[in-house]
Amino acid sequence: MTVADPARLEAIWKRVVADMKQVVRDFAITQDELHLAGDYFDRLGQSGMSRSLLDVGLAMTSVEVTGGSSKGTRQNLEGPYHRPHPDRPDGKLYDGSPPAGMPPLTVDGIVRDAHTGAPLPGARLDFWQADSNGFYDRSGAHLRGVVTTDDDGHYTIHTVLPHDYSEHDGDPIGELFHAMGKHNTRAAHIHLKAGIDDKVFLTTQLFMPTSTFLETDYVEGAVSDDLIVKLEPDGKGFKGTFDIMLDRQDAPA
């Protein structure tokens, strides 16, 4: 566990309490409502979903204020499912044949230096995603892998079209969304970490234009037009293009 600086922790606590006091005043929140909120936070903690709820509302703000003044591809939150992934020299994010019954997807592009525009050979691109039914492989390496750019900075991945997914059915986050009349669906996306050697310069998400939840993704501020992959039909599946700009002079902390 990281030990917080006491002065910083106290300053944050005082600011949060002061801001929350103003919320209580503005909405005339009753003691009964405060106790309902306390009971909810008890359930949230017992479910192990406290970190996820903070990500939903605040992660993108944290990315914006701590990610530096990057001129490269827009940073995004990592999410909860990253792990070390195998190298995929052929660009296939699956083992063996393409998964049956799922639209195949090929995405390619060029990785460039954000300041010079020069292609970056040897860049390591770490991908992971849900499948076409909205499910992540949480124990193996299916639809997960690292691809390295060639001498021209070019990369290609062969995968399946990810789908929107509802992740919080039956847990306290879903309960909160339901109480607010909101859905708990994430827009279809592919996660990406990009770097050179052992240095990661970019963590982001690539969104699919096939999603019906791009404008209402439940993670506040996650989706933006510049992170939507350009797709076109390609036989039984899709082909997409997404160029990646790495700002190596101002990497996230």
The tokens for 68 are: 């530096």
pLDDT averaged over every residue in the chain:
94
Number of domains in the chain: 1
Stated as kind and residue range, the H or E segment containing 98 is none
Percent of the chain at pLDDT > 70 equals 96
Confidence band for 140, pLDDT divided at 50, 70 and 90: very high
- Is residue 8, in this structure, part of any structural domain at all? no
CB 109 within 8 A of CB 243: yes
Determine the 3-state secondary structure of 75 from DSSP.
coil
Does the pLDDT of residue 208 top 90, yes or no? Answer: yes
Which amino acid does the sequence have at 224? Answer: S
- Is residue 86, in this structure, part of any structural domain at all? yes
DSSP 220-250: TT---GGGB-EEEEETTEEEEE--EEE-TTS
Give the burial string for 83-104 (b: 16+ CB within 10 Å, else e). Answer: eebeebeebbbbeeebbeebbb
- Is residue 43, in this structure, part of any structural domain at all? no
Q: Which single residue is written with the structure tokens 């997914």?
A: 165
State how far the Cα of 243 lies from the Cα of 47, in Å rounded to an integer: 39
> What was the pLDDT predicted at 250?
61
pLDDT tens digit string along 60-88? Answer: 999 999 876 678 999 999 999 999 999 99
> What was the pLDDT predicted at 184?
93
State how far the Cα of 173 lies from the Cα of 176, in Å rounded to an integer: 5
- Is residue 191, in this structure, part of any structural domain at all? yes
Please state the length of the chain: 253
pLDDT tens digit string along 21-33? Answer: 999 999 999 999 9
- Is residue 16, in this structure, part of any structural domain at all? no
pLDDT tens digit string along 101-131? Answer: 999 999 999 999 999 999 999 999 999 999 9
CB 191 within 8 A of CB 208: no
CB atoms inside a 10 Å sphere around CB 29: 14
Find the CATH number of the domain harbouring 245: 2.60.130.10
- Is residue 32, in this structure, part of any structural domain at all? no
- Report CA-CA distances (Å) from 127 to 13, 53, 54, 56, 193: 37, 24, 24, 21, 7
Phi and psi (nearest 5°) for 126? -105, 115
Confidence band for 235, pLDDT divided at 50, 70 and 90: confident
- Is residue 31, in this structure, part of any structural domain at all? no
Nearest Cα residue to 219 out of 30, 95, 62, 48: 62
Per the structure, the complete domain to which residue 193 belongs is given by 48-253
CB 134 within 8 A of CB 166: yes
- Is residue 23, in this structure, part of any structural domain at all? no
